[in-house]
Structure 1
Amino acid sequence: MAEAKGTASIQFFRGVDEPVVPDIRLTRSRDGRTGQATFVFEQPQALAPETFGNIGGMWMVDEEGEMVTREVNGKFVNGIPSALEATYTWKTEEDFERFMRFAQRYADSNGLGYSQNQKSDQTDAATEEQA
């Protein structure tokens, strides 16, 4: 049964979607239970002079609700804000699965795809698409 595809967004200010799509990198522990997703936003709208304010976190919002991380850092070049880096950490398999559902919705909402480095994961994904 196909799951309904909803929209997903990332926000640095509640209620204001960030239009810049980040580079996202995942790392997981060997047992797969814990891990991190690192988001890098180059020249995000949240750092624009007209919107610049105190960034209290990064909210990942979709039809299931929201996830939040407070681990957000700015990068500066010659004293000028140039990027934001946020890290979302999960500590259970359920949290990881929830994050991946968000990531799929976010990719679908922004016309993106994603790749996995492990060959077994790629094989499983290809098999599911053919079924």
Structure 2
Amino acid sequence: MATMQSLAFSSPISSHRPHQQRSHTGLISSPWVICQSTHSSFNGQSLQLPQPRRVLLRGSSKLTGAITMMVKPVIQFIQGTDEQTVPDVRLTKSRDGTNGMAIFSFDEPSVFDSTGELGEITGFYMIDEEGVLSSVDVNAKFVNGKPARIEAKYIMRTPRDWDRFMRFMERYSDANGLQFVKK
């Protein structure tokens, strides 16, 4: 039987709903490309990033700069609707690195505010520039008959799955102010 390591991502601020507005398009733009590093601080593997397209900026300015459109990392329970609540995330990984599990806990998730208008929760989707990671292992907790919490599990069965998940979490953590804490 493999021994599991325990890791977690947590918000340094106890606010469950960040004050920033998120775009439903999932796109962010910047007039300049800033690449600090192409190495993940979690696994040390090189990321292959597409070459940015160069665009001549016209108008009163004669500056040339790169414009890159990147998909902002988001979590969704209903496809097309970004979850506004930042979760607490617990990770376990076998010592041999062959498998692991991430457990996401959302207190008072915003999906409960919109489920009547948009439909039912269809799964757990983690979306970033590399694509979509998904799971159907989603459980809602009710208090006094009202939905209060969602817990979602994502299972990683190979080292490659683990590395892909950690790249998503690095991007999501940077965008939402989560910190990695090894326990």
Report the RMSD for the aligned CA atoms in angstroms.
1.7
> Would the aligned equivalents of 2:83 and 2:110 in 1 still touch at CA under 8 Å?
yes
The aligned length equals 116
Alignment deviations for residues 54-86 of structure 1 (CA, whole Å, 9 cap, x no partner) = 211010000000100000000001111000000
Q: Secondary structure at the match of 2:181?
A: coil
SS in 2 for 1:106: helix
Whether 1:76 and 2:111 are equivalent positions in the alignment is: no
Report the secondary structure of 1:56's partner residue.
Answer: coil
After the TM superposition, which segments of 4 or more aligned residues of structure 1 sit over 3 Å from their partners? none
Residue pair 1:39, 1:85 contacting (<8 A) in 2 also: yes
Which structure: greater helix fraction?
1
TM-score by length of structure 1 reads 0.82
Stretches of structure 2 lacking an aligned partner (at least 5 in a row): 1-35, 39-48, 50-69
Question: Which of residues 97, 106, 121 in structure 1 aligns to 2:163?
Answer: 97
Per-residue CA deviations over 1:4-27 (Å, capped at 9, x if unaligned) read 786311001111110100000001
Deviations 1:29-67 (Å, cap 9, x if unpaired)? 22121110000000001112x434421101000000010
Q: Secondary structure at the match of 1:67?
A: strand
Q: Tell me, what secondary structure is at the counterpart of 1:12?
A: strand
Q: 1:35-114, aligned counterparts within 5 Å?
A: 35-48=100-113, 50-52=114-116, 53-114=119-180
Q: Is the 8 A contact 1:20 1:44 kept in 2?
A: yes
| Distance in 1 separating the partners of 2:146 and 2:72 | 32
Instruction: Please report the TM-score for the alignment, with normalisation by the length of structure 2.
Output: 0.60
Identity of aligned residues (%): 47
Gaps of 5+ in 1: 118-131
Q: 2: distance between equivalents of 1:6 and 1:102? A: 11
